[in-house]
Structure 1
Amino acid sequence: MRLDYKRFSIAFIVLFGIMSVGAFCVNYYTDMYGLRDSHHKHLANLVSTKTHLYKPRLEAKASYYTIGSSRFLRINISRLADELHSHTISSAISSITSAEILFIAKQFKKNNVHLIVGLDAFSLNTQKMVQNNRFEEALHTNTLPYWTNLGDFLILIKEKITDFVFQRNTNYAFEQENKQIAPDFTFEKLEQTYFGTPPQKNYLDYFNYTIDLDEITELAKIVDSKDIFIIFPKHAMHYELFEKYGIKEQYFKAIETLVKNTKARVISFYGVNEITSQKDNFDTLGWHFKPKIGGLILDRIFQKGDYLNLPNNFGVELNASNIDSYLQAL
């Protein structure tokens, strides 16, 4: 039997058209990445770092945006939106640089939105081995709206089937990460990984550590009183290394510069306490806190849950009056 290529081509085009229309409708209606609403979505999707999402996220003009490193992947964006009483979108990106933070903050502020900015010592290092401004590249790349993306459509269908079969909720990924047991690590292991000679490949976050205080000052001044800066926590062993290798002095100067030049709230979770001293609160090498700690961070910021029983130095609101004494105490 001869294959009728004309009919086959027509059938293929019709089928592709039907799938495309179906994908558009399903993607738009379900809004899996939370461009229109942050509720009843997979938390992992709300903080997805897929490059093609950054441009539509900016164009969505939500009331609040998060900016920061992959630590924001451990913050419940849906809950954050509830606490802020506003639509909130994540724009976190792994291994973010200070230049990327400043660039995307400026873009968002053009839309008169508010920001939750997370800061880490490594992200402020201007010598970090990231060659390009990934936000700038994403915003200048012409891509079709994700509503038309067949790949996202198939991912969504798979998620729905998996959730139904295994009776999973939208918090499943967070709950699983809390249960994970990271390989044990020691001070010597951290030191060799991040500060060895040379540091291990892919761990060059503190190499030639340098902070641009002018960049920090500019970031501090473009925000307003409804914005929030979060100084994220790390395992306590990292703080010992910061002091030993001169990171602490520069990082503290950056925090001081930020606080003395901004109208935004600045809340610091830096410091040694029973939370940052527990290895089970972090993943491999004490690098990321687990989602359960992300929940405690929100408890402190919004004075919810069991926040009164948290360590006194876990979430200190900083201002021009207390910044000097706070840093001296550390």
Structure 2
Amino acid sequence: MKFHLVSDYKPSGDQPEAIAQLTEALRRGMGDICLLGVTGSGKTFTMANVIHELQRPALILSHNKTLAAQLYGEFKAFFPENAIEYFVSYYDYYQPEAYLPITDTYIEKDLSINDQIEKLRLSAASALMSGRRDVVVISSVSCIYGIGNPDDWHQQTITVRKGETRTLTSFLYKLVDALYSRTELDFQRGTFRVRGDTVDVFLGGADEAVRIEFFGNEVDAVLLVDPVTGAILEELESVEVYPANNFVTTRERSNAAIVNIQKDLKAQVEYFESIGKPLEAKRLQQRVEYDMEMMREMGYCPGIENYSRYLDGRKPGQRPFCLIDYFPKDFITFIDESHVTLPQ
């Protein structure tokens, strides 16, 4: 689908020239371009027109959540038919873990995740991995912080088609691998429930659920439903069920990561013991062994981002994957208020 700009206004003043020059420079492959304009001069409208002219996916960086939300609203109005996404930090509150060896006090990590922002983050990753070209992501600097490997995200995406041969059991296993949790009562994002030969999946990056009805080993129906009332919204021929978390990995990669975590844990525990720090060694061993057990049984653990290097198979010092890795190679980056954003 192509970008379709909707506006009651046409470019005026200096905007037509700015749009033409920016478009031409980007088509020639120029890397760094600066657009100067006072507040209210229409820089946002100019960006929208450049995206419309080039028909390329875009990342728009903002220096805070408030401005990012404002840009998100404006671009949703400019491109109502296209995928306009929002990607910022989903923490309402975050206290990192700490350990005070003098008193043997362990302060556990405490955090609160905003469910709506988490949905929007998953929606952004889903849109980028869907193969669509008409995607604009409005983001804070969160887009350069680590998330899961895009290849693993793609591998864990489940495509269900009406009429295909698929067993109910194999489908449930795939949902668990994609970090969906089974529930019967609290049906919320990232969960699924089973009733006979029918599976309802509340998609992680959407406000709707999908209902997959099986007849023996065949998918009999694929339906979009209201997660609260269960009312059928639309009959589908196929659906993509994207992972329920940004930090998803394959079972094989997870098992390999656990082996490497164990090796490094053993070395670090021996180091702490050799320098006379048995309390630190014990605390580290308890925490990491608990996390490994969670990963074995659930495929996930709180704070799994701390193990991203092992899960991605990266070497020490190599940067983690981030949202930018989910974009195609020819995407455009706009840095709004760059004098404030770039220093971040």
Question: TM-score normalised by the shorter chain: which range applies?
Answer: under 0.3
Higher strand share: 2
